[in-house]
Structure 1
Amino acid sequence: MTLLFCSASDNAEDWRLEIAKRLPGLEFRVWPDVGDSADITMALVWKPPAGMLASLPNLGLILSLGAGVEPLLEDPTLPDVPLVRMVSDGLTVDMAGYVALQVLRWHRQMEEYAALQAAERWQPLGHKPARDVTVGILGLGELGTASARTLRSLDYRVLGWSRTPKSVDGVESFAGADGLAAMLPQTDILICLLPLTPDTRGLLNADLFAALPPGAVVVNAARGGHLVEADLLAALESGRLRGSSLDVFAEEPLRPGHPFWSHPAIRVTPHVAAITHPSRSADQVAAAVNAFRAGRPLPNQVDRQQGY
């Protein structure tokens, strides 16, 4: 069996070394040096060129380097073979840390303190205790649950919304359209960690922003397709929202001149909230490859109808 690696944003040699430690003898090729395409039975990829996977006649397994798989599902030529998404402890810890960082940044007024430092002004600012700040999380999957638990450990009140009812200790859970309508008016800082599906695309829009309390903050670390960009800019300009942290965008890289770059109430990071590090994630790849070889059920296999 031969595994083909394809990612413009990951170090192929780092992955080659980590895979070799766990799967000695597995042939590891790096696109575009495919060799005989008929040799390829598995592909480890992140945003491969459209049609590339369809050019592999004996492909039997696709492994995503990311937790989100919509870039793959959007390829109309995607082969009808099992697709496994990345769910590793490293990704989960990274995301929980990013979410906590953004919540603390806005709650503890770090932007205001940066301005005071620049002006050489010693001026303590008052802030509410964490237990009086409500954080709402959209999506209570692996990443959302870990983020909720981290925030609870910091004494924040945490609400969580999901498509179907879920239970997380210490988190007030909501589900469905009625649940979302009930959660939003209570939410000071809203975190989006949802998978991108036809039902969630464009969810972060003017109607949702209007349902939040005045001065709320929106953090999107899920997918750029969740956000209606013009609606966010309008909500910030009107003062409906106080600020926003964005790690994901409809088009990546974010183009020069995009209004997000220079907006005083938006903080941009380049899709780095949760990084797939080879040393932390190769175990999951090896587990999936071994299950595939043995004909066992695959860990974290994607339900293509649901999109995750």
Structure 2
Amino acid sequence: MVDFKALETVVWIARLESFRAAAEKLNTTQPAISVRVAQLEQELGSQLFDRSGRTVSVTPTGRQVLDYADRLLRLRAEMLHTIADRSRMQGTFRLGVAETIVHTWLPAFLERMSSIYPNLALEIEVDISTNLRERLLHQEIDLAFLVGPLSAPSVLQRPLCRFPVRFFTSSALKSDATEISLEEISRWPILTFARNTQPYVQVVELFSDPRLPSPRIYASSSLATLVRMALDSIGVAVIPTAIVTAEVAAGRLVELNTPASLPDLQFVAAWLGTPDRHTLEDIVTLASEIASPTDQMAG
């Protein structure tokens, strides 16, 4: 008799085009995955996957099975989502997070998650949004909180919050001028996000005017490092205001008043439309409720 575990296995092999990757996704071994497929093929009397190439491909019969499997798994997930007690939900949930969120509302989110899903194990990866997007598309994480919106058609997404980006420096470097030009700022190293990120590109474009001195940009994937460098008077940090509220309140960092401006960082929750997405959508709703007050800090 065909069981849901076998159907889930077929779906993930087809998505990942690999028995090994499906085994990692389902927290089991590759031999166990092979046994499930072999038993299902024997029961159906037809081969589901072509293993002759470098990657696994789905046979015509396999595509028919995938269509039914997807519908059955979605109905099962909907039933469990509607009826099951969330406090009993078990398993591992893989979350990718941009560092700006780590320094703002992630602790409150994790506290709520622990309360609602006490038996759900969390694996949290902190990385730049470019890498998180790739890890999501390769199904190495289940959900990502990252800079968006994303253009990938297979990704579902929902806006979470936005953060204004401003210029900060230590009080020791603060000029007495009421307004500071980009030319004056460019005399100092510019401390900002890592290369291949949206904020980095925007900073480079801001200082691309040929009339300005060529800026020295110190890029880092660690916002904590950028804040430390600004506190040590190494340069001018171009970072979200939300991560330096304590330093500004204490007078250790000062926001520079400049006519130049950068777009707010827009963050989204992104996930793939898998059959079990109901739980993901609940978690996204929870994140949205916690993150939304952050928008009041923008502008």
Tell me which interval the TM-score lies in, with the shorter structure as reference length. 0.3 to 0.5
How high is the TM-score relative to the length of structure 2?
0.32
Structure with bigger helix share is 2
Q: Which has the higher contact order (CA 8 A, sep 6+)?
A: 2
| Higher Rg of the two aligned structures | 2
How high is the TM-score relative to the length of structure 1?
0.31
